Amino acid sequence: MEKTAPTTIKPLVTIRPSTGWAALNLREIWQFKDLLLTLAGRDVKLRYRQTAIGVVWVVLQPLISAIIITFVFSKIANIPSPGTFPYFVFAYAGLLGWQAFSSTLSKASTCLVGNSQLVSKVFFPRLVLPISTVFSTLIDFGVALVVMFALMVWNHVVPTLAILTLPIWLLLILMVAMGVGMLAAAMMVSYRDVQYILPVVISFLQWGSPVGYSVSYVVAKLAPQYHPLYMLNPLSSLFEGLRWSLLGSTAPVPAWGWVGYAVLCAVGVFVWGAFGFKKMERKFADVI
């Protein structure tokens, strides 16, 4: 093991202290795609293991939430349905977007702390963990969407061409959720406080975004100077948009100026989240 002259062959991997912002290194993540899929598979398998009715929960959860929302907004608050369909269908469509958002955010934010054993004992690109959480959300979304279509058929809602934009709305919602989720995950490594703050933020967002009611209702009720404040939350346009893509012309059409703003926000939050995560990544194993 004596010293040698400087080497001429390039090493496969060079490990050195890093500073500042780092590249995302997407190629490395691609190399770990098997791990990504296995972890995603694990999450899906584990979700309903040792449950009596298993996958039925995927359907039941949004249905029960939709019943509660219909009860509160339609029956108690007497808000009329904004279209030709029952309020329940409207609420369920709103919950589709909401569930995708909240489940991605809460899963992504706990992915590091929940897998601390992996983080401190094995090397892999850490971004694999938050990304792997998306798959189970997508499966849930798919199942819930089938129920949505059944509800639409039942209530004679004919989708318009707007339905083609559904994947775009979903993607934007997931980008916001992932961006915030990755930042929260990275911060949770040092500060477990995030764990307690996040549920509060999530429930604030659920009632502060047009999930159980429409933006037009807010516009009607709120003084005009507060409208921009409400729309500053990019989720407002995104949830409204996703619902519009499903229920078509009978649902309120989103304001396109605010949609543009929401798109910028979604991309910005996602990029910020990914790079912020990457920047904090190097101390995960030491601190966790």
Partner 1 sequence: MSSSDLAIAVRGVSKSYTIAHNAPNHTTAAEALIHRLRHPLERPAKETFWALKEIDFEVKKGEVVGVIGRNGAGKSTLLKLLSRITEPTTGIIELYGRLGSLLEVGTGFHPELTGRENVYLNGSILGMSRKEIERQFDAIVAFAGVEQFLDTPVKRYSSGMYVRLAFAVAAHLNPEILIVDEVLAVGDAEFQKKCLGAMKDVANSGRTVLFVSHQMQAINSLCSSGIYLDKGRIGYMGDVQTTIQHYMSVRQTQQLATEEIKRPGTGEFRFTGFTTDKGTYLSTDDIHLDMEITCFGQTQPGYFISLEIQNTHGLPVLHLDSRLLNQEYTRTELRRLHLTIRETRLAQGDYRITGVICSTGGVIDRLEGGAEITIAPILPYPTRRNDCAGYAAYYPDFEIEEGPNEETTPRLLVENSAS
Q: Count residues contacting partner 1 (CB under 8 A)?
A: 40
Letters for 263-282 (x = contact with partner 1 by CB under 8 A, - = none) are: -------------------x
End-to-end CA distance of the chain: give it in Å, rounded.
35
Estimate the crossing angle of helix 134-154 against helix 33-47, to 10 degrees: 50
- Cβ at position 52, least distance to partner 1 in Å: 15
Question: Is 20 an interacting residue with respect to partner 1 (CB under 8 A)?
Answer: no
Which of 30, 42, 149, 193 binds partner 1 (CB under 8 A)? It is 42
**Exposure of 168 by Cβ count < 10 A (0-12 exposed, 13-18 middle, 19+ buried)?**
middle
**Closest among 133, 127, 174, 114 to 279, alpha carbons compared:** 127
Q: Specify the residue, 17 or 224, whose C-beta has the smaller distance to partner 1.
A: 17
CA 115 to chain centre: 19
Contact 273, 179 (CB under 8 A): yes
Q: Specify the residue, 41 or 228, whose C-beta has the smaller distance to partner 1.
A: 41
- Cβ at position 152, least distance to partner 1 in Å: 36
Which of 64, 68, 77, 122 binds partner 1 (CB under 8 A)? It is 122
Question: Is 121 an interacting residue with respect to partner 1 (CB under 8 A)?
Answer: yes
User: CB under 8 A: which stretch of 92-100, 121-129, 190-198, 236-244 binds partner 1?
Assistant: 121-129
Letters for 133-152 (x = contact with partner 1 by CB under 8 A, - = none) are: --------------------
* Alpha carbons 5 and 283: distance in angstroms, whole number: 33
Question: Is 161 an interacting residue with respect to partner 1 (CB under 8 A)?
Answer: no
Q: Specify the residue, 5 or 76, whose C-beta has the smaller distance to partner 1.
A: 5
Question: Is 221 an interacting residue with respect to partner 1 (CB under 8 A)?
Answer: no
Letters for 70-109 (x = contact with partner 1 by CB under 8 A, - = none) are: ----------------------------------------
Contact 195, 113 (CB under 8 A): yes
* Alpha carbons 265 and 235: distance in angstroms, whole number: 9
* Alpha carbons 119 and 284: distance in angstroms, whole number: 7
- Cβ at position 62, least distance to partner 1 in Å: 25
* Alpha carbons 151 and 145: distance in angstroms, whole number: 10
User: CB under 8 A: which stretch of 29-37, 56-64, 81-89, 136-144 binds partner 1?
Assistant: 29-37
Question: Is 23 an interacting residue with respect to partner 1 (CB under 8 A)?
Answer: no
CB neighbour burial string for 214-251, b if at least 16 within 10 angstroms, e if fewer: bbebbeeeeeeeeeeebbebbbbbbbbbbbbbbbbeeb
Structure tokens at 58: 């995927």
Q: Which residues bind partner 1 (CB under 8 A)?
A: 1-9, 11-18, 34-35, 37-39, 42, 45-46, 49-50, 115, 117-124, 282-283, 285-286
